[in-house]
Chain A
Amino acid sequence: MIEFEQVSYWYSDVESLLEIKDEVLNSVSVVIQKGEFVVLLGRNGSGKSTLAKHCNGLLIPKRGKVTIDGLNTMQAENLWEIRQKVGLVFQNPDNQIIATTVEEDVAFGPENLGLPMEEIRRRLEEALSIVDMQDFRRKEPHLLSGGQKQRVAIAGVLAMHPEYLVLDEATSMLDPEGRGEIISLVSRLKGSITVFHITHYIEEAVNADRVMVMDEGRMVAQGTPREIFNLRDQIVTWGLELPQVTETAWLLREKYPHLFPTLPVSETELVDALCLSS
């Protein structure tokens, strides 16, 4: 369980030597249960990425506390264990691959953990097959597409056998093809590992167990995808945009209030609702 208790965070301005309390996180309380697939939505600058970096102690709360399975990130001696439990994948695919070949990079985490060679090799094979990159093991990272690079980054984290996988805007720099690859990988992982996916693409939230929305450093809404997609007006004020399917359903529902018993959130749901009801 990842638990945020009244967490506040602000960046301090080094030059002026004054702490400018422009709060990036404003008393955020969140719980992520083991096994959940949670999507966190928010516009650029809403604080969602800062939140992600609190999950494994890259940032330490200025007020409040973050605990991972009871381990407080504030205590430096916990960080090693926390970082094995919580794997982070970042936004820029080019800036998180360290080694000169795919397999060396996937092995980087297990090597740091000091695992024996046979174990590293076993985990390497396992992680490569989960992300379906076995055929690329000897490739140099710059020869891969953006989606493939992010899959390697995810494999590198999975090889450390974490309990929580945090994707910090991992899809935002990818083309639709690459995003598709990551989203289908995440839905395959669903259930076997806790996934905390942070994004501003609302359609990536459709399959989530739970959706959270952040704006101006605060947690402004939580619920199932359907519950969140029902908040059409708020979604606009949070700087987000409904998927076109749901927007279409909303437009129809305005005219025909009884058309949909529940709001369709996917394309098949919309088509089914209209075709099967006749």
Chain B
Amino acid sequence: MFIVLDHVSFSYLAHTPFEISALVDVNCAIDRGESVGIIGRTGCGKSTLTQHFNALLFPDAGKVLIDGSEIRKKSAPLKEVRQKIGLVFQYPEHQIFEETVFGEVSFGPRNMGMGEGELERTVRWALDMVGLDFETLKEKNPFELSGGQMRRVAIASILSMRPQALVLDEPTAGLDPEGKKMIFGKLKTLRDEWGTTLVIVSHSMEDLAQIAQRIIIMDQGKIVLEGPIREIFSQVEKLEWYGVRPPATARIAAEFRKRGYDLDCTVLTPQELAKEIEDKIIQRRKG
């Protein structure tokens, strides 16, 4: 197991009257090469959880293990952890500060102590991974790019540290369908060709359906449901209970079931749903 959380609890402003319990006895394990989706209503603890993955927050109780070694506040070399686990915050373009795209993307690896020679190769690779051209953009001012391009530069600035796992908090927030498709396409390449572990936090089941294999559902600081994506998506009523809107395909299939048609609820895409409707309703009616 690559990332392990063992009975982790965490509160903000612990030991004050304002204490807010954000994680309660959370256990989870993420394997190398997996792509996991974390979902839940706002304030359920998903962002707090991801910040434990790369030593930005430390548990009040329990243990966090990355690649087999425990992360503690003082002991572990934090840089090593932060290099291994890349964390992309929500609206990452809001953290851009350099005057050139090259400067921005090379900030991370430079902090990690990467030499100048390797730096250029890495930046080139990272920009390439998000579908941006190194030669035309390296000297450009990142603030003059379009919103979607800035988002990709920000993601590249994490990728340039060559993390083994990439954790993304709402990577497509505010993007239009095209921008979304672009980001998810690039993430897929990263997973399939480079074996990068992906952890994606999202509000949208439809989005996660495009990329995640396993889903973790959180509510009030706890993991309340966990399993392969199809299994999770078909539990329409349970999802609604936890404040998660089931994907349209599952909702429609569930509606058909209510009307007496035996449709499979684990459909992820319109193609699959159409096939189910064809097999279970149209064909049967003909026969």
Contact = CB atoms under 8 A, between A and B. Distances in A.
Do A and B share a direct contact in the complex (Cβ within 8 angstroms)? yes
Interface of A: 43-45, 145-146, 172-173, 175-178, 180, 200, 202, 239-241, 243-245, 247-248, 251-252, 255-256, 259, 267-268, 270-271, 274-275, 278
Interface residues of B, number: 36
20 contacts: A44-B148, A45-B146, A45-B147, A145-B43, A175-B41, A176-B245, A178-B42, A180-B245, A239-B177, A240-B177, A244-B248, A244-B249, A244-B252, A248-B252, A252-B278, A267-B251, A271-B255, A271-B259, A274-B256, A274-B282
Contacts, number: 83
A252 B281 CA distance: 12
A177 B41 contact: yes
A44 B175 contact: yes
Nearest to A202: B177
Interface stretch (B14-22, B30-38, B269-277): B269-277
A244 B203 contact: no
Contact of A274 (B43, B271, B281): B281
Which of B147, B252, B281 has the largest number of chain A CB atoms within 10 A? B252
B225 interface: no
Contacts of B259: 271, 275
Contacts of B177: 43, 200, 202, 239-241
A264 B143 CA distance: 43
A56 B129 CA distance: 42
A248 to B, nearest CB: 4
Given A173-B174, A247-B270, A44 B179 contact: yes
B59 to A, nearest CB: 26
Interface of B: 41-43, 146-148, 173-179, 203-204, 206, 243, 245, 247-249, 251-252, 255-256, 259, 261, 270-271, 273-274, 277-278, 281-282, 285
Given A177-B41, A239-B176, A244-B249, 20 more contacts: A43-B176, A43-B178, A45-B146, A45-B147, A173-B173, A173-B174, A177-B42, A180-B245, A200-B176, A243-B248, A244-B206, A244-B252, A244-B270, A245-B252, A251-B271, A251-B274, A259-B282, A267-B248, A267-B255, A268-B255
B174 A172 contact: yes
B274 A252 contact: yes
A202 B178 CA distance: 13
B42 A248 contact: no
A176 B203 contact: yes
Contact of A244 (B147, B148, B179, B247): B247
